[in-house]
Amino acid sequence: MKSILVHIPHASVVIPPAERAAIRLSEPELQRELLRVTDWYTDELFRGGFEAEDVLEARVSRLIVDVERFPNDADEPCAALGMGAVYTTASTGQPLREIAECDRRRLMEAYYWPHHQALARAVQDRVDRYGVCTIIDAHSFSTNPLPTQAAMATLPEICLGDRNARALVDGGDRPGPVHERGHRGKAELVPHVMYSFGGFLDIYFESVKQLTFS
Protein backbone atom coordinates (compact mmCIF):
# COMPACT_ATOMS: atom_id res chain seq x y z
CA MET A 1 0.00 0.00 0.00
CA LYS A 2 1.18 3.51 -0.87
CA SER A 3 0.10 6.86 0.56
CA ILE A 4 -1.21 7.68 -2.92
CA LEU A 5 -4.69 6.53 -3.90
CA VAL A 6 -5.74 6.68 -7.55
CA HIS A 7 -9.45 7.43 -7.93
CA ILE A 8 -11.04 6.69 -11.33
CA PRO A 9 -14.71 7.74 -11.21
CA HIS A 10 -15.81 7.96 -14.85
CA ALA A 11 -14.08 5.21 -16.85
CA SER A 12 -16.76 2.54 -16.49
CA VAL A 13 -19.22 1.84 -19.29
CA VAL A 14 -21.16 -0.75 -17.31
CA ILE A 15 -24.94 -0.40 -17.57
CA PRO A 16 -26.49 -3.18 -15.45
CA PRO A 17 -29.29 -4.90 -17.37
CA ALA A 18 -31.69 -4.25 -14.50
CA GLU A 19 -31.11 -0.49 -14.92
CA ARG A 20 -31.12 -0.41 -18.73
CA ALA A 21 -34.89 -0.71 -18.94
CA ALA A 22 -35.38 2.65 -17.24
CA ILE A 23 -33.14 4.47 -19.73
CA ARG A 24 -35.20 6.04 -22.49
CA LEU A 25 -32.42 6.26 -25.09
CA SER A 26 -32.29 3.82 -27.97
CA GLU A 27 -29.26 1.55 -28.08
CA PRO A 28 -27.43 3.71 -30.68
CA GLU A 29 -28.26 6.84 -28.66
CA LEU A 30 -27.02 5.18 -25.47
CA GLN A 31 -23.75 4.18 -27.12
CA ARG A 32 -23.23 7.75 -28.36
CA GLU A 33 -23.96 9.09 -24.89
CA LEU A 34 -21.46 6.68 -23.34
CA LEU A 35 -18.91 7.74 -25.92
CA ARG A 36 -19.40 11.37 -24.94
CA VAL A 37 -19.54 11.24 -21.14
CA THR A 38 -17.09 8.45 -20.33
CA ASP A 39 -13.53 9.38 -19.35
CA TRP A 40 -12.10 6.91 -21.83
CA TYR A 41 -8.87 5.06 -21.05
CA THR A 42 -8.28 6.82 -17.75
CA ASP A 43 -8.36 3.37 -16.15
CA GLU A 44 -5.58 2.13 -18.43
CA LEU A 45 -3.58 5.35 -18.18
CA PHE A 46 -3.66 5.70 -14.42
CA ARG A 47 -3.38 2.06 -13.36
CA GLY A 48 0.20 1.86 -14.55
CA GLY A 49 2.73 1.86 -11.74
CA PHE A 50 0.16 1.23 -9.01
CA GLU A 51 -0.88 -1.92 -7.24
CA ALA A 52 -4.55 -2.91 -7.43
CA GLU A 53 -5.05 -1.94 -3.78
CA ASP A 54 -3.99 1.62 -4.61
CA VAL A 55 -6.65 2.12 -7.31
CA LEU A 56 -10.36 2.63 -6.75
CA GLU A 57 -12.73 2.66 -9.73
CA ALA A 58 -16.45 3.27 -9.96
CA ARG A 59 -18.30 0.02 -10.71
CA VAL A 60 -20.87 1.45 -13.11
CA SER A 61 -21.15 4.18 -15.70
CA ARG A 62 -21.82 7.70 -14.47
CA LEU A 63 -25.10 7.44 -16.42
CA ILE A 64 -26.27 5.10 -13.66
CA VAL A 65 -24.73 6.94 -10.69
CA ASP A 66 -22.07 9.65 -10.73
CA VAL A 67 -19.93 9.10 -7.64
CA GLU A 68 -18.30 12.53 -7.96
CA ARG A 69 -21.46 14.50 -7.45
CA PHE A 70 -22.66 15.64 -4.06
CA PRO A 71 -25.32 13.22 -2.77
CA ASN A 72 -27.96 15.90 -2.21
CA ASP A 73 -29.18 17.69 -5.32
CA ALA A 74 -29.59 20.88 -3.31
CA ASP A 75 -25.79 20.94 -2.86
CA GLU A 76 -24.90 19.90 -6.41
CA PRO A 77 -24.82 22.60 -9.15
CA CYS A 78 -24.97 20.00 -11.94
CA ALA A 79 -28.33 18.77 -10.63
CA ALA A 80 -29.94 21.84 -12.20
CA LEU A 81 -28.99 20.30 -15.56
CA GLY A 82 -30.40 16.91 -14.63
CA MET A 83 -26.86 15.63 -14.08
CA GLY A 84 -26.59 15.29 -10.32
CA ALA A 85 -25.60 12.07 -8.59
CA VAL A 86 -28.41 10.27 -10.47
CA TYR A 87 -28.79 11.64 -13.99
CA THR A 88 -32.22 12.31 -15.42
CA THR A 89 -31.00 14.16 -18.52
CA ALA A 90 -28.47 13.14 -21.16
CA SER A 91 -25.65 15.43 -22.28
CA THR A 92 -27.69 16.18 -25.42
CA GLY A 93 -30.57 17.51 -23.33
CA GLN A 94 -32.71 14.45 -24.07
CA PRO A 95 -34.58 12.92 -21.15
CA LEU A 96 -32.49 10.03 -19.89
CA ARG A 97 -34.98 8.50 -17.46
CA GLU A 98 -37.63 9.33 -14.90
CA ILE A 99 -36.56 8.58 -11.35
CA ALA A 100 -38.90 8.28 -8.40
CA GLU A 101 -37.37 9.11 -5.05
CA CYS A 102 -37.48 5.45 -4.00
CA ASP A 103 -35.53 4.47 -7.13
CA ARG A 104 -32.99 7.24 -6.59
CA ARG A 105 -32.48 6.04 -3.03
CA ARG A 106 -32.07 2.46 -4.25
CA LEU A 107 -29.42 3.47 -6.81
CA MET A 108 -27.53 5.53 -4.24
CA GLU A 109 -27.56 2.64 -1.79
CA ALA A 110 -26.48 0.17 -4.46
CA TYR A 111 -23.67 2.16 -6.07
CA TYR A 112 -22.96 5.59 -4.58
CA TRP A 113 -22.66 4.90 -0.89
CA PRO A 114 -20.69 1.61 -1.21
CA HIS A 115 -18.20 3.45 -3.43
CA HIS A 116 -17.80 6.26 -0.92
CA GLN A 117 -17.51 3.83 1.96
CA ALA A 118 -14.70 2.05 0.12
CA LEU A 119 -13.09 5.39 -0.66
CA ALA A 120 -13.33 6.52 2.95
CA ARG A 121 -11.79 3.24 4.18
CA ALA A 122 -8.95 3.48 1.67
CA VAL A 123 -8.21 7.07 2.68
CA GLN A 124 -8.41 6.29 6.40
CA ASP A 125 -6.05 3.31 6.02
CA ARG A 126 -3.45 5.57 4.42
CA VAL A 127 -3.90 8.37 6.92
CA ASP A 128 -3.49 5.85 9.75
CA ARG A 129 -0.36 4.39 8.19
CA TYR A 130 1.35 7.42 6.66
CA GLY A 131 -0.34 10.40 8.29
CA VAL A 132 -1.53 11.63 4.91
CA CYS A 133 -3.31 10.39 1.81
CA THR A 134 -2.81 11.93 -1.63
CA ILE A 135 -5.67 11.20 -4.00
CA ILE A 136 -5.01 11.37 -7.73
CA ASP A 137 -8.42 11.98 -9.29
CA ALA A 138 -8.27 10.79 -12.89
CA HIS A 139 -10.37 12.44 -15.60
CA SER A 140 -10.33 13.28 -19.28
CA PHE A 141 -12.11 15.80 -21.50
CA SER A 142 -14.56 15.03 -24.27
CA THR A 143 -13.97 16.59 -27.69
CA ASN A 144 -16.68 19.19 -27.09
CA PRO A 145 -17.73 20.69 -23.75
CA LEU A 146 -20.46 18.87 -21.86
CA PRO A 147 -23.38 20.91 -20.50
CA THR A 148 -21.62 20.96 -17.13
CA GLN A 149 -18.63 22.60 -18.86
CA ALA A 150 -20.63 25.22 -20.73
CA ALA A 151 -18.69 28.07 -19.11
CA MET A 152 -15.55 26.97 -20.98
CA ALA A 153 -15.28 28.47 -24.46
CA THR A 154 -12.72 25.82 -25.36
CA LEU A 155 -11.57 22.82 -23.41
CA PRO A 156 -7.96 22.83 -22.24
CA GLU A 157 -5.41 20.33 -23.45
CA ILE A 158 -4.32 19.61 -19.89
CA CYS A 159 -5.95 20.18 -16.52
CA LEU A 160 -3.71 20.25 -13.47
CA GLY A 161 -4.62 21.38 -10.01
CA ASP A 162 -5.60 20.67 -6.49
CA ARG A 163 -8.48 21.56 -4.23
CA ASN A 164 -7.24 25.14 -3.92
CA ALA A 165 -7.08 25.61 -7.72
CA ARG A 166 -3.27 25.79 -7.71
CA ALA A 167 -1.24 24.52 -10.64
CA LEU A 168 0.94 21.56 -9.80
CA VAL A 169 3.68 22.74 -12.13
CA ASP A 170 5.29 26.11 -11.35
CA GLY A 171 2.76 26.90 -8.60
CA GLY A 172 0.75 29.32 -10.72
CA ASP A 173 -2.58 30.73 -9.64
CA ARG A 174 -4.22 31.69 -12.93
CA PRO A 175 -4.83 30.09 -16.34
CA GLY A 176 -2.05 30.27 -18.88
CA PRO A 177 0.80 28.25 -20.37
CA VAL A 178 3.11 26.40 -18.01
CA HIS A 179 6.39 24.60 -18.45
CA GLU A 180 6.23 20.88 -17.87
CA ARG A 181 9.51 19.05 -17.33
CA GLY A 182 9.71 15.95 -19.50
CA HIS A 183 11.29 12.62 -18.64
CA ARG A 184 14.65 13.76 -20.08
CA GLY A 185 14.69 16.95 -18.05
CA LYS A 186 13.72 19.18 -20.96
CA ALA A 187 11.14 21.83 -20.15
CA GLU A 188 8.43 22.10 -22.78
CA LEU A 189 5.70 24.69 -23.11
CA VAL A 190 2.22 23.24 -22.59
CA PRO A 191 -0.52 25.57 -23.91
CA HIS A 192 -4.17 25.74 -22.87
CA VAL A 193 -3.80 24.58 -19.29
CA MET A 194 -6.74 24.85 -16.92
CA TYR A 195 -6.32 24.84 -13.17
CA SER A 196 -8.88 22.72 -11.42
CA PHE A 197 -10.24 22.80 -7.91
CA GLY A 198 -12.13 20.20 -5.95
CA GLY A 199 -11.59 18.39 -2.70
CA PHE A 200 -14.95 16.72 -2.15
CA LEU A 201 -13.38 14.62 0.63
CA ASP A 202 -12.64 17.70 2.72
CA ILE A 203 -15.90 17.13 4.57
CA TYR A 204 -14.58 13.78 5.82
CA PHE A 205 -10.85 14.25 6.30
CA GLU A 206 -8.33 16.95 7.06
CA SER A 207 -5.15 15.02 6.13
CA VAL A 208 -6.07 14.61 2.47
CA LYS A 209 -4.50 16.27 -0.54
CA GLN A 210 -6.66 15.77 -3.60
CA LEU A 211 -5.10 16.27 -7.01
CA THR A 212 -6.96 16.38 -10.31
CA PHE A 213 -5.43 15.26 -13.58
CA SER A 214 -7.25 15.44 -16.91
Q: What is the pLDDT of residues 85-132, one digit of tens each?
A: 999 999 999 999 999 999 999 999 999 999 999 998 998 899 889 988
* pTM exceeds cut of 0.85: no
Separation between Cα atoms, residue 86 and residue 108, nearest integer Å: 8
Separation between Cα atoms, residue 182 and residue 164, nearest integer Å: 25
Residue 27 pLDDT > 80, yes or no? yes
Residue ranges per structural domain of the chain: 4-64+100-213
E runs forming strands in 103-177:
133-138, 158-162
